[in-house]
Structure 1
Amino acid sequence: MRVLAAMSGGVDSAVAAARLVDAGHDVVGVHLALSKNPEAYRSGARGCCSLEDSHDARRAADVLGIPFYVWDFAERFADDVVADFVSEYAAGRTPNPCLRCNEKIKFAAVLERGRALGFDAVATGHYARVSSAPGRVSLFRSREAAKDQSYVLGVLDRDQLQHSLFPLGDDTAKAQVRAEAAGRGLSLAKKPDSHDICFIPTGDTAGFLHSRLGRRPGDIVDASGEVLGTHAGTHQFTVGQRHGLHLSVPAQDGRPRYVLGVDPVRNTVTVGPRAALAVRVIDGMRPTWTETVVTGTWRGLVQVRAHGEALPATISCDGERVRIELDEPAFGIAPGQAAVHYDGDRVVGSATISAAAA
């Protein structure tokens, strides 16, 4: 099988590529250049788009003895990921850029180009599993729960999954991957995992959004409308946020207050006690399905954060909208995030959260 191995410059993607070589596949490594000026993206091995990351990926490919190329996806990344990130915050929602990158870049643009060049599949270092049977392909959680990344892959569809490989899905610990990398002579065996948003080099999300959206002062209010403070732009805030509120009026009970809602039209941020964050009903839009379109009502699990727990729920879909009724309340559910549906460990699909209510 001809496989295009997406090599970010991290240890996971390098070991994934190595395992494909061991399995006898015809492997070509590719690093995605996602910025016209890669030095502007995070250095220090904390992202996945820096200049040093591309060098690390090339060195790993040399060790593995496979061809290596750098593909320029900067313009598409800017349009599909960065611009989407900014517009979602401007609309009062909280997007997940890594999920959008998987959907629009790694498993759409890259797969499209790869198949046009004669490759059979794209492989990445994600911790997840794909199981294929005649006429069916399914996405499952990784066996290593602490590293499971099926949540950020929940937007993939059947066609994409049929041409995707995740060689790390059966691992039991990240330490094994690092040990394997060291044993193969890969210098990035001790390289730290990436956790930051790659296109925000300072880690200052609020500052990045200010540079794109400008400052628009407004009021921070409580549920009754009383003004408790001011803000420089609603894009600084997300539902569930506790820090950085700088309220001028303290709570009567002395307890912390949290962001309950962001309204860019009224230019207000509403805050209140943690108890007011509790929701039992989540509405979703733009549903996607990993196998076939699912309509009607069913019981399943829902995950609303990349590293959150799966919550038992009753899920229904009319084809365009999804409604999730949780068995127990969840806290700090932000519009714009993804709600990924599971049947046990199998990923069923996802939806973008549009609203949540008690």
Structure 2
Amino acid sequence: MFPTFDLPGAAADARIVVAMSGGVDSSVVACLAAETGAEVIGVTLQLYDHGEAVARSGTCCAGQDIYDAKTVCDRLGIAHYVLDYESRFREGVIDKFADDYAAGRTPIPCSQCNQGVKFVDLLAFARELGATCLATGHYVRRVVGEDGKPQLWKGRDPRRDQSYFLYGTTLDQLDFLRFPLGDLPKDEVRKLAEKAGLEVANKPDSQDICFVPDGDYARLVKKLRPETEAPGDIVGLDGAVLGQHRGTVHYTIGQRRGLEIGGQAEPLYVVRIDAATRQVVVGPKAALAVAGARIEDINWIGEEQLLVETKVRSLAPPVPARLGQGAVRFEAPQFGVAPGQSAVFYDGDRLLGGGTIAATEPATLEPA
């Protein structure tokens, strides 16, 4: 299916604002928008942390990325704006990320960024410009239902689908947003970039959280929340001290490597992190099994349903679950579920909504 912007009237009368990161995805979106004959404006968010570039993905850019976005806009003959959102990004995303880690949770900053800087601030700026819509390079699909209301669906290519990070999108935002790449595989997007002669056609994709491009989350958190570096006890499920750790910042739920405690009858995993007592609680893999979870700040894009498919990690497959009274119960015990992560609900390929995991309910597994 060829990309479409689903404009409400003639393209010549429309103004499309494109969120541009300097990467191949958003650059192709800008190119496709220009081909419609509409007026197109590229907008890049410049996000810095204390004067240092912190981003290289999404619409979070600095340095070379801003140059690449401007180069694409110049080639297409469209206007390009750069907005400095340092304070907003630091307060709404980076500080919250550090606070969650300090509290022993496992945060999903990409979801927070989409719910704040990208789909609130950037969208508001696009509306100030009198835009018809705001287009992004996300691999998701916007589908208009039989009732005329927009719906959010998984990207056609399951390897690129980004719907997990967009559960916080509101219907009002979705009415204004466009995702023209949702039906395309990544290799086709690169071919479109090459055909258009865009210099970013072969630019590598970012693999890490945008403000931690080297993947060293602990270093950032220790800088912002030094208390997370304080040593403490590694304890078993019975409370017995098994060893010492060098700061809770170095551990996440489900972690096995780096515990440095030997002489155990079976492999041990991080089961819980108690920030108040600085204890890292470990146990066998069976202790990671979760029967359900309490969900907070639930946002519904589609209608509320009792039986849903639920994703608790971006790369995990959806699993059957039942919703009720702000909690989700899985049809079968799940592993790798931690407070701070997102629980995202689907009906097939359609995204219904989601929320943040506040607490988990242990499952009791039958002995093997």
* TM-score with structure 1 setting the length: 0.92
Which residue among 315, 332, 342 is the counterpart of 1:307? 315
Amino acid at match of 1:148: D
**Secondary structure in 2 aligned to 1:139?**
strand
Number of aligned residue pairs: 346
Aligned with 2:90: secondary structure? helix
Secondary structure of the structure 2 residue equivalent to 1:88: helix
Query: In structure 2, what is the Cα distance between the partners aligned to 1:19 and 1:265?
Result: 52
Counterpart residue type for residue 197 of structure 1: I
1:283 to 281, 294, 300: 294
Q: Does the 8 Å CA contact 2:150/2:175 hold for their aligned counterparts?
A: yes
Q: Report what 1:333 is aligned to.
A: 337
Q: State how far apart, in whole Å, the 2-side matches of 1:300 and 1:87 are.
A: 30
1:30 to 39, 43, 49: 43
Q: Return the offset for 1:135.
A: 4.5
Q: Distance in 2 between matches of 1:341 and 1:165?
A: 21
Give 1:266 shift: 1.6
Q: Which residue of 2 aligns with 1:239?
A: 253
Aligned with 2:24 (options 2, 5, 11): 11
Query: What amino acid is aligned across from residue 304 of structure 1 in structure 2?
Result: V
- The answer to whether the 8 Å contact 2:230/2:246 transfers is yes
Kindly indicate whether residue 147 of structure 2 is the aligned counterpart of residue 104 of structure 1.
no
| Structure 1 residues 46 and 97: CA distance shift in structure 2, 3 A | closer
SS in 1 for 2:353: strand
Instruction: Give secondary structure in 1 for the equivalent of 2:61.
Output: coil
2:216 maps to 204
Identify which of 324, 342, 348 aligns with 1:344.
348
Q: Please name the residue that 1:146 is paired with.
A: 159
Partners of 1:149 and 1:52 in 2: how far apart? 24
Q: Deviations over 1:75-113 (max 9, x none)?
A: 100110011101111121111111111110110111112
Could you say if the C-alpha distance between residues 100 and 10 of structure 1 is closer, same or farther in structure 2, counting changes exceeding 3 Å?
same
Of 274, 281, 291, 1:270 maps to 281
Q: Distance in 1 between matches of 2:250 and 2:152?
A: 35
What is the CA distance between 1:140 and its match in structure 2? 0.4
Distance, in Å, in 1 between the alignment partners of 2:51 and 2:68 is: 14
Q: Distance in 2 between matches of 1:40 and 1:114?
A: 24
For structure 1, the 5+ residue unaligned runs are none
How far apart, in 2, do the equivalents of 1:40 and 1:150 lie? 27
Q: Is the contact made by 1:46 and 1:195 (CA closer than 8 Å) also made in structure 2?
A: no
Contact persistence 1:46–1:193 (CA under 8 A): no
Matched to 1:28, the amino acid is I
**Structure 1 stretches of at least 4 aligned residues deviating more than 6 Å after TM superposition:** none
State the alpha-carbon separation in 1 of the partners of residues 191 and 123 from structure 2: 30
Aligned partner letter, 1:280: A
Query: What is the distance in 1 between the residues matched to 2:79 and 2:34?
Result: 12
After TM superposition, give the deviation of residue 305 of structure 1 in Å. 1.0
Cα distance in 2 for residues equivalent to 1:348 and 1:42: 29
Give, as a single letter, the amino acid of the residue that structure 2 aligns with 1:300: V
- Of residues 95, 100, 111, the one that matches 1:88 is 100
Determine if contact 1:290/1:348 at 8 Å carries over to the other structure. Answer: yes
- Change beyond 3 A, Cα 1:46–1:103: closer
Distance 2:141 2:78 in 1: 24
Query: Contact 1:39–1:51 (CA<8 Å) still a contact in 2?
Result: no
RMSD of the alignment, in Å?
1.9
Which has the larger displacement, 62-71 or 201-210? 201-210
Structure 1 residue 289 displacement after superposition: 1.3
- Cα distance between partner residues in 1 of 2:225 and 2:234: 19
Contact (CA 8 Å) 1:137, 1:162: kept in 2 or not? yes
Deviation, 1:37, is: 5.9
CA distance in 2, matches of 1:225, 1:36: 40
Q: Is the 8 A contact 2:42 2:79 kept in 1?
A: yes
Q: How does 1:152-191 map to 2 (within 5 A)?
A: 152-171=165-184, 173-191=185-203
Alignment partner, residue 272 of structure 2: 261
State yes or no: 1:116 paired with 2:115. no
Q: By how many angstroms is 1:57 displaced?
A: 0.9
| Structure-1 residue corresponding to 2:83 | 71
In structure 2, runs of 5+ residues without a counterpart are 1-13, 364-368
Cα deviation digits, residues 165-221 of structure 1 (max 9, x gap): 1010111x2111111111111111111111112222442111111111112111111
Q: SS in structure 2 opposite 1:251?
A: coil
* Contact 2:46/2:84 (8 A) holds in 1: yes
CA distance in 2, matches of 1:18, 1:40: 26
Aligned to 1:222, which of 231, 236, 239?
236
The answer to whether the 8 A contact 1:38-1:51 is kept is no
Residues 92 and 263, structure 1, Cα contact 8 Å, conserved in 2:
yes
